[in-house]
Structure 1
Amino acid sequence: MSIPNPRIAILGNRVPSLNLPELEHFSDLGSLLAARAFDVVLLDMPAAYAGKVLRKLRSIPPYRYTLIYCCRDQDGWCEALGDGACPVDASEIKQLWVAWQERFRLLEQGAAPERFESRVLSWLWLRGNTYVYALRDPEVPQHYRYPLLEALADNEQINAFVWLGLMVQQGWLEEGVLVDRVRLCSECGSGRLNYIDVCAECQALDISRQPSLHCFTCGHVGPQESFLKDGVLLCPNCLCRLRHIGTDYDRPMENYRCRSCQAFFVDAEVQARCLDCGLSHTPDKLRVREVRDFRLTEAGRFRCRQEFSERSVPGFGRLNLLGGKDFYDLLSWQIQIVRRYPVPTFSLIGLRFVNLSGTLSQLGEQRGHAFIDSVADRLKETVRETDRCSRSTEEFFWIMLPHTDGKGLECVKQRLSRIAELFSAPEVSDLSLRVVSITAPDDLLDQEDGQLLLARLAGELV
């Protein structure tokens, strides 16, 4: 069955190297939006205009997830909202679109993501290894913004930095390159700060650098000009004549003078004054924020797969999987219980589907999900209603078995061995299953909690 060519629209100038019957040219954004939505959009215009067009296209549902390429130079907006430079030929565009379309079909099988976090994770999942990019912008108080989050917000009030931190804590996103480190006002959170030197004694702003002298006879310290009288150096306090530096006087390190309190000091005190709220801080009281790019984790990619499966076809979603932190907390609680009350025991099984990611890539999205469904069916036959499951990555699957001793654990492992029968087909022959298990409290180490236990067992599965 031949794959149809994508419908491609060019906004701006024509691209002479692309000669496709499906290609249509539009000179302005209004005419593009008036037509039926296209599969791929090419923006042949300067980066400043392309960025504005991308902001508009990503904010409306028909082009929220569409592949959009920039044919000329790219600025930060293009990098954050687009899909990169325009491919050199039409066949490459088709290949990229086919790969994207396989994933998008899964999205279409259920309702469109309604929650903000689902829209962002879906956008990243459709593109594989891409990032939520930070963009430097002097117009915003924090100096940086995240264009993708703003475009997908649908008029929701989103604090981008707080939301990204929450996604990292939940394990859906991970930190990428450190772009910058900014300091913000502790009162209003603005990064518009003016660093000023003030008097170390009274914090007055009116200070000046002024050379001073120190009389050894009486210890008086004052401005150099007050020691000058009729062309000679004379201490204004004790009236002794100062002839030799190092013997009669010296120049102290205090070179700053406050015009308000007349104090002399070595170094001025530095204060950061917020230009938005006017509050002054010492630099150590400012909030320090690291600005980074973010990308989807393996757990985040699995969450997208699971979410689509729950909306369309049966899959791992039927196993009532717990998130990473919830599973760690539940496992730690069980460990505390069996250490205090050894009976009844519980067991834990770890499964690693070696080379699962590579196998799914070879099978493609549709066949890959069909295979996942068959694995989920076998797991469903093994897992009881009282058991709890979790997946820390695409390959690692955990089953906690309450009230299960060593003998019961062996029975469960025998049933799990049926999963390996699914790996006999040639297209999944590179896939293998590794199993590790423990029974608590006998197999626990001292001071071991849920997270440390999973880390130890995961090491045995590598």
Structure 2
Amino acid sequence: MSRTTPRIALLGAGPYRFPGIELECYNDLASLQGNSEADVLLVDLPGEQAGPALRSLRLDPRYRFSLIYCCQDQDPWCIALGDGPPPADPGAITPLWRLWRERLGLFNRGAAPERFEERVMAWLWLRSRGEVLAVRDAGVPQHYRYPLLEVLGNEETINQFSWLQLMSQQGWLEEGELQDRLRLCTSCGSGRLNYVDVCPECQALDIGRQPSLHCFTCGHVGPQEHFLKEGVLLCPNCLTRLRHIGSDYDRPLENYRCRNCQAFFVDAAVDARCLDCGQSHAPDKLRVREIRHFRLAEAGRLRCREGFGAGAMNIERFGSLNLLPRQAFLDLLNWQLQLTRRHRDPAFSLLGLRFVNLLETLFQLGEMRGHALVDGLVERLQEAVRETDRCCRLSEEVLWLLMPHTDATGMEVVRKRLVKGAERLTAGQATPIEVRLAVFTAPDDQQEQEDAALLLARLGGQLG
């Protein structure tokens, strides 16, 4: 029989600050990992100790995805790998753990995460506000690291920044708050750069500020010391005596002199010199990298529920629902728009559906029953369309249907069928799902220079 309450273990101080809940207490990490099979962990250690302990726990397959709360001050590693401070009411841990366990059962249709991307997606899926957080670390060449990717890597060699960019391009992850912007060496990728002033003529490092004078008579410019002869100012070139600044001479803007080539200049050039490989670069030639947090995107949530086990013939589709991913759908829609813009034929139609009160339905029915209802609705809707039509579920609320060779009359027939199918499926539910529609037919409704992304955004406004 499945348990209804979690086993809770505490690492650190005694349980006096957690009244009313049963705890297994451990004084050190070794005893916890050697004797415990807890469902929820409380780490009652100072931040500088809690961070390394949490990292070790996440490396342990038993606690890779578990709820782990840090009870004292949290260092950046605690924030990146933990679940925050424990609830103010210790009794709230049980319902949180039940929700966690329910979501674990929904992930990947019950299959355990095996590949690296599945483990990362599972960790984020199990937390409603889960993020892949960047942590600043001066000890690494690129100044930032992603602790979650490190502990879930299983000693795999992963280029964290490239992997995050790939997942973002696929639509599984979306960019969060911008944390920093780095300049990196184009040779080795290091961010350890020293910016030095150099001569713009010969790029020598040995330059210095030096006052100079400009003779109006012959135009000669030189160091001020060369004009001083026995206490008076004489131009070393034409030997004119310089009495009045502004009429005989002035001080030019050139304030620097290169001790290597003797050039005078106003502003020095700047070189970015890599402290790791020694290469020099012009600052505008450096690689620019933005450091961001990342979170699970809508397409990633759908992937977590529908599964990762699609075969090679169906690798870019979501499970049994057979939906195109966002980018593939946008490419197909762009192609259709280009055809009708050029040839005005054949016509095609696009229909958007939004399940307006989906969140209310999930709240009342529970996550598992609610999502089962939505999946049934999507499958019923697909029965109403043809094999040649293409679908895309951009979020859990929004579905798009692309219908080639379908004019406005055919679009109206499909729309009525979809409305009837939705009404039959949701009839009798405590909270019927409201379906809102937006329709488009090309070339009649087509606007000049409007691409697929702009079209979906325009129609999305009608969906609300």
TM-score (norm: length of structure 1): 0.91
2:108 touches 2:306 (CA, 8 Å); kept in 1?
A: no
Query: Would the alpha carbon gap of residues 36 and 420 (structure 1) be closer, same or farther in structure 2, given more than 3 Å must change?
Result: farther
d(CA) in 2 for partners of 1:93, 1:220: 83
d(CA) in 1 for partners of 2:220, 2:416: 92
Mapping 1:441-460, distance limit 5 Å = 441-460=443-462
Does residue 365 of structure 2 align to residue 360 of structure 1? no
| Structure 1 counterpart of 2:387, one-letter code | E
Match of 1:398 among 378, 400, 413: 400
Q: Which residue of 1 aligns with 2:207?
A: 207
Q: Which residue of 1 aligns with 2:133?
A: 133
Q: Structure 1 residues 251-260 or 235-244, which shifts more?
A: 235-244
Q: Structure 1 residues 248-257 or 417-426, which shifts more?
A: 417-426
The count of aligned residue pairs is: 458
Q: Which residue of 1 aligns with 2:352?
A: 350
Deviation at 1:26, TM superposition (A): 1.2
d(CA) in 2 for partners of 1:308, 1:371: 21
1:43 touches 1:71 (CA, 8 Å); kept in 2?
A: yes
1:211 touches 1:224 (CA, 8 Å); kept in 2?
A: yes
Q: Which residue of 1 aligns with 2:424?
A: 421
Query: Would the alpha carbon gap of residues 253 and 411 (structure 1) be closer, same or farther in structure 2, given more than 3 Å must change?
Result: closer
Deviation at 1:225, TM superposition (A): 2.1
1:15 touches 1:44 (CA, 8 Å); kept in 2?
A: no
Query: Would the alpha carbon gap of residues 31 and 227 (structure 1) be closer, same or farther in structure 2, given more than 3 Å must change?
Result: same
Q: Which residue of 2 aligns with 1:236?
A: 236
Deviation at 1:281, TM superposition (A): 1.2
Deviation at 1:338, TM superposition (A): 4.7
Q: Structure 1 residues 114-123 or 45-54, which shifts more?
A: 114-123
d(CA) in 1 for partners of 2:192, 2:172: 32
Mapping 1:15-54, distance limit 5 Å = 15-20=15-20, 22-54=22-54
Structure 1: gaps spanning 5 or more residues: none
Report Cα offsets for 1:271-321 as digits up to 9, x if no partner: 11111121111111111211111212223222222228989xxx9732211
1:44 touches 1:72 (CA, 8 Å); kept in 2?
A: yes
Q: Structure 1 residues 277-286 or 438-447, which shifts more?
A: 438-447
d(CA) in 2 for partners of 1:343, 1:200: 61
Deviation at 1:211, TM superposition (A): 1.5
1:10 touches 1:41 (CA, 8 Å); kept in 2?
A: yes
Q: Structure 1 residues 134-143 or 7-16, which shifts more?
A: 7-16
| Structure 2 SS opposite 1:84 | coil
d(CA) in 1 for partners of 2:92, 2:132: 24
Deviation at 1:54, TM superposition (A): 1.7
Deviation at 1:343, TM superposition (A): 6.0
Q: Structure 1 residues 50-59 or 211-220, which shifts more?
A: 211-220
d(CA) in 2 for partners of 1:229, 1:389: 88
Mapping 1:89-128, distance limit 5 Å = 89-107=89-107, 110-128=110-128
Q: Which residue of 2 aligns with 1:378?
A: 380
| Structure 2 counterpart of 1:16, one-letter code | Y
Task: Calculate the aligned-residue CA RMSD, in Å.
Answer: 2.6
Query: Would the alpha carbon gap of residues 201 and 449 (structure 1) be closer, same or farther in structure 2, given more than 3 Å must change?
Result: closer
Q: Which residue of 2 aligns with 1:332?
A: 334
| Structure 2 SS opposite 1:427 | coil
Deviation at 1:18, TM superposition (A): 1.1
d(CA) in 1 for partners of 2:208, 2:113: 61
Report Cα offsets for 1:333-382 as digits up to 9, x if no partner: 23344556666544332211102133223322222233224323422432
Report Cα offsets for 1:119-175 as digits up to 9, x if no partner: 222211211123211111111111111111112122222222222222222222222
Q: Which residue of 2 aligns with 1:432?
A: 434
Mapping 1:191-206, distance limit 5 Å = 191-206=191-206
| Structure 2 SS opposite 1:174 | strand
d(CA) in 2 for partners of 1:194, 1:379: 60
Report Cα offsets for 1:380-434 as digits up to 9, x if no partner: 43244333211112111112233444454444333322212333445324x3011
Query: Would the alpha carbon gap of residues 447 and 241 (structure 1) be closer, same or farther in structure 2, given more than 3 Å must change?
Result: closer
| Structure 2 counterpart of 1:371, one-letter code | L
Q: Which residue of 2 aligns with 1:13?
A: 13
Report Cα offsets for 1:84-134 as digits up to 9, x if no partner: 112223112223222222211223852212232222222112111232111
2:347 touches 2:405 (CA, 8 Å); kept in 1?
A: yes
| Structure 2 SS opposite 1:197 | strand
* Percent identity between the two aligned chains: 62
d(CA) in 2 for partners of 1:90, 1:108: 30
Does residue 284 of structure 2 align to residue 281 of structure 1? no
Deviation at 1:10, TM superposition (A): 0.9
Report Cα offsets for 1:179-206 as digits up to 9, x if no partner: 1111111222111110101112111111
Q: Which residue of 1 aligns with 2:216?
A: 216
TM-score (norm: length of structure 2): 0.91
d(CA) in 1 for partners of 2:265, 2:308: 67
| Structure 1 SS opposite 2:290 | strand
Query: Would the alpha carbon gap of residues 28 and 211 (structure 1) be closer, same or farther in structure 2, given more than 3 Å must change?
Result: same
| Structure 2 counterpart of 1:319, one-letter code | L
Structure 2: gaps spanning 5 or more residues: 312-316
